Amino acid sequence: MKAAVLLIPLLPLASFIITGLFGKRFFKEKSHYLSVGAVAVSWLLSMYLIVEVERGEELHWQVYSWIAAGSFKVDIGFLVDQLTAVMLLVVSTVGLMVHVYSIGYMKGDGGYYRFFAYLNLFMFSMFMLILGNNFLMLYVFWEAVGLCSYLLISFWYTKKSAANAGTKAFLVNRVGDFGFGLGIMLIFVTLGTLSYSGVFEAAGTIGTGTMTAICLLLFMGAMGKSAQFPLHVWLPDAMEGPTPVSSLIHAATMVNAGVYMVARSNPLFAESHTAMFVVALVGTFTAIFAASIGLVQNDIKKVLAYSTVSQLGYMFMALGVGAWGAGMFHLIAHGFFKGLLFLCSGSVIHALSGEQDMRKMGGLKNKTKITYWTFVIGALAISGFPGLAGFWSKDSILAGSFNHGYWYFWAVGLIVAFMTAFYMFRLIFMTFHGKPRDEKAFAHAHESPRSMTMPLILLAIPSALIGLALGLPPEDGHIDKFLEPVFEAAGIAPHAFGAVDLGLMALSALVGIGGILLAWQFYVKRPDDLPAKAGARAGFLYKAALNKYWIDEFYFAAVINPVMALGRGLWRWVDMAMIDGFVNGSARFFHGVGMALKPTQSGKIQAYLFSMFLGFLALLVAYLILTV
């Protein structure tokens, strides 16, 4: 088991080093061989660890002392438990599918080797984030996946929008990570340790105020990494990166790091009702806020981006109300169907030679049959269609909110479920149904190569069936029992499924189906007039959602422009006027002194002798005055 734990992250790291150093010269268009092979072996080893954990095995392994400075001591160590197994399942499976998919999608790109090297570096960082057994390792590799995100969003760095998007993601995440770092420092100052076991065992000894401060600071990091309001603005812009990046990092893995961190820290959050409520409140607001924007976006990847922000809000809502197992269940399901949806969108973009505007699509159903049917499966899954993965995980969250007394969060969650079904099938109907809106693009449309369609088929299977495997019986299924030891400290008792829960499940299913039917009415039955009429009737609300509520503009006006103005002022008045003025003024002063004394250096001996005589005479006079 220890060998597997070491090899899972080290294989992608070795592939990153080799591909990065030698890919351009030696591997070129075959750079994917080593990268895909390394991740495939890591996937097999991850499946082995999952089986071992299922059998009741766990691993708490201190490898060596990393930092020892006075009382500050941190080890490199690994923790393999049920929560680790859940994350390994999602990260390794989606990661492998994305690597395979990228072979066809990135074919012919000048940075082909570099792309696979970056993917491998991300996999190494994400594996280490999951497997680490202390908060410092979590923080280090939290920052490492942030670096990988920057590199991959800005992969096409000659494209200004991509370079700007990478910078934006990096800077926005720094805001959250600042709080995250402070939270970790406060943990050490309070408890003198950063190991999970030491911190969680002593959680009950921390005062309520201090615990709330720790949890809220940690949650700041989660808000940045998992794109929660108001730090969500980076993720939609991150769609400037290649589509496989959107699937791997910004849908199924990296953005889940914040959810994982809060879930891993459940013994801390369970001690602070205030922190839990804040997590639920932020998650619920983000869910409906982002869903409302997704309703009206026209870029196929932007719709999925706002859907990701919304679904992450769903997960935080679950964690905040104490439905820990439901939140992680949705993380698993979302990882598979959102990874599938992003790869399907990439297949559509590939078929249309780079087109992403859904208003220029239509009629692709028969030209891209594999992409269409797998896209439909993913859309049904996220819409909560009965029997598919999203149905079971969303029902668990809604039922958990209702049963724990948070009926207002439940009500908002139900509305979000309706909106999700509507905007997902708006995407399906605008993209694949009706008449082609761009005849030229439609004429050249084609199905993607097998290297791209096979991952779609393989991801469609868990998107459809994993809910049945993990979610039955409802509210106390296999996933709840599997994760129960991890969330034992949170003190959440299992809930018996009853008539009320059956009613809630039926209502949830009807809401999802209602959203699909309404989208059909708008974009299949009456696409020429109904959307335009609805937009006109919504008026300002439609315009606000279309413009993403002008959040970016607000940040420019309230933060960026004032900071830039302050910077210019400091440059002009402090740097140039004061600092440069003092330095340059000193130079001018001594230059003037030098120029004034310059005539005394004439090179004439008689002048020098006369100066010496005057000096001697002055000294003599001074001596006589002082001695008389």
Q: What is the pLDDT of residues 314-332, one digit of tens each?
A: 999 999 999 898 899 999 9
Q: What's the pLDDT score for residue 491?
A: 60
Q: Are residues 326 and 452 in the same domain?
A: yes
Please tell me the predicted confidence (pLDDT) of residue 493.
55
Determine, yes or no, domain membership for 550: no
Domain membership flag for residue 453 = yes
The predicted-structure confidence for 443-460, as pLDDT tens digits, reads as follows: 888 888 888 999 999 999
Across all residues in the chain, what is the average pLDDT?
Answer: 90
Report residues of the chain scoring pLDDT below 70.
251-252, 474-476, 489-497, 628
Residues 304 and 163 in one domain: no
Q: Are residues 490 and 562 located together in one domain of the fold?
A: no
Residue 577 resides in a domain: yes
Residues 259 and 279 in one domain: no
Closest CA to 54 of 392, 483, 490: 483
Instruction: Find the helix or strand (DSSP H, E) in which 574 lies.
Output: none
Cis peptide before 474 (omega within 30 of 0): no
Identify the residue whose tokens are 């699909």.
516
Q: Residue 573: which H helix or E strand, with range?
A: none
Would you give the end-to-end CA distance of the chain in angstroms? 100
Residue 542 lies in a domain: no
Q: Are 208 and 232 found together in one domain?
A: yes
Give the pLDDT of residue 496: 62
Phi, psi at residue 78, to the nearest 5°? -125, 145
Name residue, tokens 């030209």.
367
Q: Is residue 366 part of a domain?
A: yes
- What per-residue confidence (pLDDT) applies to 253? 80
Residue 109 lies in a domain: yes
Give the end of a domain, one of 244, 271, 298.
271
**Residue 377 sits in which domain range?**
273-534
- pLDDT of the residue at 497: 66
Task: Indicate if 417 and 395 belong to the same structural domain.
Answer: yes
Both 455 and 589 in one domain: the answer is no
Q: Do 393 and 517 share a domain, yes or no?
A: yes
* Residue 544 lies inside a defined structural domain of this protein: no
State the pLDDT at residue 627.
Answer: 79
Tell me the pTM.
Answer: 0.90
Residue 560 lies in a domain: yes
pLDDT of residue 566: 92
Give the three-state DSSP class for 74: strand
Question: In sequence order, which ranges of 154-296 are alpha helices (DSSP H)?
Answer: 160-191, 196-201, 208-225, 234-237, 243-247, 257-264, 266-269, 273-294
Which of 534, 566, 590 corresponds to the end of one domain? 534
Number of domains making up the chain: 3
Residues 114 and 168 reside in one and the same domain: yes
* Contact status, residue 113 vs residue 31, Cβ threshold 8 Å: yes
Residue at which a domain ends, from 271, 294, 325: 271
The verdict on 226 and 302 lying in the same domain is no
Assess whether 316 and 253 both reside in one domain. no
Q: 537: Cβ–Cβ under 8 A, 6 or more apart, which residues? A: none
Residues 206 and 291 in one domain: no
